[in-house]
Structure 1
Amino acid sequence: MVKIALDPTPFHPDHDLLELPDLVARAGYEYLQLAPHPDVAPFFRHPKADDALVAAFRKRAADAGVGISSLLPVQRISWPEETQRVAAVRNFRRVLQIAVDLEVPVLNTEFSGRPERSEDSEDAFHRSMEEIVPILEREGLTLNFDPHPDDFVEDALEAWRVVRGLNTDRVGVVYVASHTFHYGDRATSFLPQVAGRLGAVYAADTFDHRRSHGLRYISNPPGNAARIHQHLKIGDGDVNWTELFATLRGTGFLDREDAIVVSNVFAEDETAHETSQYQLRTLRDLIAGA
């Protein structure tokens, strides 16, 4: 049965790292995904956790009865400038060791390249993966990629082609519902192609920026290259959740024990506890009804 995990990012500003497992448990979740945290693996920087802190977090999670489903590191492993790429790989090696020490077999991440230099970024990605894949294979880890808006690859199908080209089953994909309309809005055609290589689905809603002749929401100046999207609670945006979960059921994703659905609402920090509970209830209903 699919795991439902909470991304506790909304709690990061007001709570210490070691408080997070208890907060996740109080919201009713059995699992958490550890996203970039200033005490563990902040965005684009070398991890800050030593072995003692990693062990303490693992114990607090166990004491709270919360499993760590996955880690979410974000490093510039596809950066077209070599200095940053090399640093990112060094940082990523430490993240992989933290995953091993936490006994967490799954990491979900982003490509973290640049769309205006897509060819250079894809080349950088492959150079990084030449170093990372052997570690994944040796340690029995799985690394899944989300083609994040403003990355060198944003379309979901094209991202799958990049991942598939690595020719290893240790690397898969993440489907982020709040990125639906930047992916190409192709869940029903894309997800069946990925099948068992879909490692995680993130559950947050978003508006379709293409509606109302491109004026669903407005950024200035007109025509700028910003990729705007939201991480709203389910039902507050335009994602077709019934269709998405029916497709996930049809591919067998919801019946897999290694599959993960992550609630990652970032727009409701002032009601994070109540919103997290709402997300859990809604996800259970979507799974049951699919």
Structure 2
Amino acid sequence: MSTRQAGELRFGYGTNGFGSHRLDDALAVIAGLGYDGVALTVDHPHLDPYDDDLPARTASVGRRLEELGLAVVIETGARYVMDPWNKHEPTLVSATGRERRVDLLCRAVRIGADLGAEAVSFWSGTAPSGTDTEEAWHRLLSGVEPVLEEAARLDVTCAFEPEPGMFIDTVAGVLELRRRLGHPERLRVTIDVGHCVCNETRTVAECIHAAGPLLSNVQIDDMLPGVHEHLELGHGDVDFPATLGALLDVGYAGLASLELPRHGHAAPEVAARSLEVLRAALSEAQRDRTPDDRTAESSRTPA
């Protein structure tokens, strides 16, 4: 169980990095290592959003989270949960089948409501080759709107993730999506810090400041410029003291969760090493800041 004090950054671990573990076992390991929460991917290995007995299974997971003292965010990036042949399909910008993605996201929102999730995170998907930009925007907007309606009905926060190679691939793109939707309160921002290194023109810290108070979910991994591969911390170009410092600057209070889906073969060891790196980086970031610095920075508004 975590002993982290209120007001400090809280670290979580993504269950997609524990794909070889039963969910109850994964949660026990994550809590036992000292993490504060989990980023729970709704997928068939753990919490299947299409399970015939989903309400009972969700209630069981909720009891386990409470027992272990773990906070939770819901992730929706399962690779083959809808189509066994095509990864991530259909998406919000696919030519056909978009209603199936909307249904999945609404299921995720309901699961999030039942678990008291801090956020439900999702992304746009990749537009098929030759898709007109405005047509892709139309598809995306028409898909996001019913998800936000369900989120409003159930008092759930959604957080939109820019993903390299997808239609919305930068923080600026998420802010444009919010603008086109009329700046809905229920739609906020997910940042994967590795993605910032991979394909943003700004630094990780600058991306975090651009999102500012809209930031509601953070994914942690390492990455190299131009290469969308989630690396263990210390194997890429992410400056973790600067990254965590920026989260302190903007007053981020959500979970910052490891996103290492390809490291399940050594999940407990990777999770333990990762938490050591993050705690050391947080200590360094805190040494470089005073309470006055954090107060001044937290008043910044999104770019």
Q: Same fold (TM over 0.5)?
A: yes
Aligned residues: CA RMSD? 2.2
Match of 1:89? 102
Match of 1:153? 168
Matched, 1:138 2:153: yes
Q: 2:142 aligns with which of 123, 127, 135?
A: 127
Q: Mind listing any 5+ residue stretches in structure 2 that lack a counterpart? A: 1-6, 78-87, 286-303
Looking at structure 2, the residues matched to 193 and 10 of structure 1 have their Cα atoms a distance apart, in angstroms, of: 28
Match of 1:62? 66
The total of aligned residue pairs comes to 262
Match of 2:212? 195
8 Å Cα contact 1:41-1:95 kept in structure 2: no
Q: 1:164 to 1:234 in 2, by over 3 A?
A: farther
Match of 2:239? 240
Letter in structure 2 aligned against 1:182: N
Q: 1:278 aligns with which of 263, 267, 273?
A: 273
Q: 1:174 aligns with which of 174, 186, 190?
A: 190
Q: TM-score, normalised by structure 1?
A: 0.82
Deviations 1:22-72 (A, max 9, x none): 121222213111014215566xxx633611111111122223x13242000
Q: Secondary structure at the match of 2:97?
A: helix
Matched, 1:53 2:57: yes
Letter in structure 1 aligned against 2:223: T
Looking at structure 2, the residues matched to 269 and 229 of structure 1 have their Cα atoms a distance apart, in angstroms, of: 18
Letter in structure 1 aligned against 2:11: I
Q: Secondary structure at the match of 1:273?
A: helix
Looking at structure 2, the residues matched to 15 and 188 of structure 1 have their Cα atoms a distance apart, in angstroms, of: 34
Q: Secondary structure at the match of 1:229?
A: strand
Which moved further from structure 2: 195-204 or 153-162?
153-162
8 Å Cα contact 1:4-1:262 kept in structure 2: yes
Looking at structure 2, the residues matched to 111 and 104 of structure 1 have their Cα atoms a distance apart, in angstroms, of: 21
Matched, 1:73 2:76: yes
Q: 1:115 to 1:237 in 2, by over 3 A?
A: farther
Deviations 1:249-275 (A, max 9, x none): 22222xx3xx22011223433322111
Q: 1:205 to 1:38 in 2, by over 3 A?
A: same
Q: Secondary structure at the match of 1:174?
A: strand
Looking at structure 2, the residues matched to 18 and 242 of structure 1 have their Cα atoms a distance apart, in angstroms, of: 32
Q: TM-score, normalised by structure 2?
A: 0.78
Match of 1:215? none
Deviations 1:65-92 (A, max 9, x none): 13242000137452232x4111111222
Q: Secondary structure at the match of 2:222?
A: coil
Looking at structure 2, the residues matched to 205 and 28 of structure 1 have their Cα atoms a distance apart, in angstroms, of: 21
Matched, 1:11 2:18: yes
Q: Secondary structure at the match of 2:167?
A: coil
Q: 1:157 to 1:29 in 2, by over 3 A?
A: same
Letter in structure 1 aligned against 2:260: V
Deviations 1:145-173 (A, max 9, x none): 11111211213222322234321121111
Looking at structure 1, the residues matched to 213 and 103 of structure 2 have their Cα atoms a distance apart, in angstroms, of: 29
Which moved further from structure 2: 145-154 or 242-251?
242-251
Letter in structure 2 aligned against 1:141: V
